[in-house]
Amino acid sequence: MPRQSASLDSATPGRIAATALALVDEEGPGALSFRTLAARLGVAHATVQRRCTDLAGLLDLCADHLAADVPDIPPGTDWDRATEIRFRRLYESLTAHPGLLALRGGRPWLGPQLLGRLVEPQLADSIRAGMTPEEAITAYRRMYLLTLGSATFVDHRDPKSSLAVTRTVLAALDPAEFPVLTGHLAAILPAVVDHEVFYGGLRQLVRAADPAGHARREA
């Protein structure tokens, strides 16, 4: 059998990431494996494995593929606005592919797209706005952690499942032992899938770290 050049085109890192993301989206996180992915790509399972070195490498590839969505910010934009735009975009890209972050677990995320499109410009803007490098990295990391935590635990695409299991569990609680949880069910349930929980939290972290806000407060 001749070495089909179609394999070379099908197994490019970008195609691997995109195909893996589509697979997770369509068939759930549990359906992702080297074999199922290779079947979609039309190559042998060992091939895509060697491309990624590892299962963790495959997930890193997918994650960084999403970080490419973080937009460039026009120079001159206010620091707080630029910051919110970047993290909101990352959050939206991540929640558009639920299950991916869950699969990655706590693995450090140091892909070129994340570093180039988020970390580097965000730190540069922060220092330019008057923060020390320490303040800049600390503020960045807080927002990063909130963003990834939120994107991990908010299931946007399938709110039914998160909502359903939460509703079921909470409804079965003893009102005598959990008066607040059982008494305010109607207020609690929507928060499980409400993106404003993240957006508002991000805004609070941004305001707390804003150099302009600090200056204003100290004046």
* Interface residue list for a second copy (CB under 8 A): 29, 98-99, 101-103, 105-108, 110, 115-116, 119-120, 123-124, 127, 132-134, 136-138, 141-142, 145-150, 152-155, 162, 165-166, 169-170, 173, 177-181, 184, 187-188, 191-192, 194, 196-198, 200-201, 204-205, 207-209
CA distance 118 to 68: 9
| Residue closer to DNA (CB basis): 37 or 154 | 37
Minimum CB distance to a second copy, residue 7 (Å):
30
Element (H, E) at 57: helix 55-67
Is residue 152 part of the contact set for DNA (CB under 7 A)?
Answer: no
Q: Which stretch binds DNA (CB under 7 A): 7-15, 83-91, 152-160, 209-217?
A: 7-15
CA distance 158 to 149: 17
CA distance 158 to 188: 18
Is residue 102 part of the contact set for DNA (CB under 7 A)?
Answer: no
Is residue 44 part of the contact set for DNA (CB under 7 A)?
Answer: yes
CA distance 101 to 199: 19
CA distance 164 to 180: 19
| Nearest one of 54, 73, 202, 70 to 139, comparing CA atoms | 202
Among 43, 82, 129, 154, binds DNA (CB under 7 A): 43
Among 13, 22, 28, 50, binds DNA (CB under 7 A): 50
Angle at 89 between CA 191 and CA 128, to 5 degrees: 115
Is residue 120 part of the contact set for DNA (CB under 7 A)?
Answer: no
Question: Do 154 and 148 contact (CB within 8 A), yes or no?
Answer: no
Q: Is the dihedral of CA 24, 30, 34, 38 positive or negative?
A: negative
List of residues 6+ apart from 56 with CB closer than 8 A: 104, 107
Partner in contact with 180, chosen from a second copy, DNA, none, beta carbon below 5 to 8 Å by kind = a second copy
Minimum CB distance to a second copy, residue 102 (Å):
3
Size of the site for DNA (CB under 7 A): 25
Is residue 77 part of the contact set for DNA (CB under 7 A)?
Answer: no
Binding site residues, DNA, CB under 7 A: 1-5, 7-8, 11, 32-36, 42-47, 49-51, 54-56
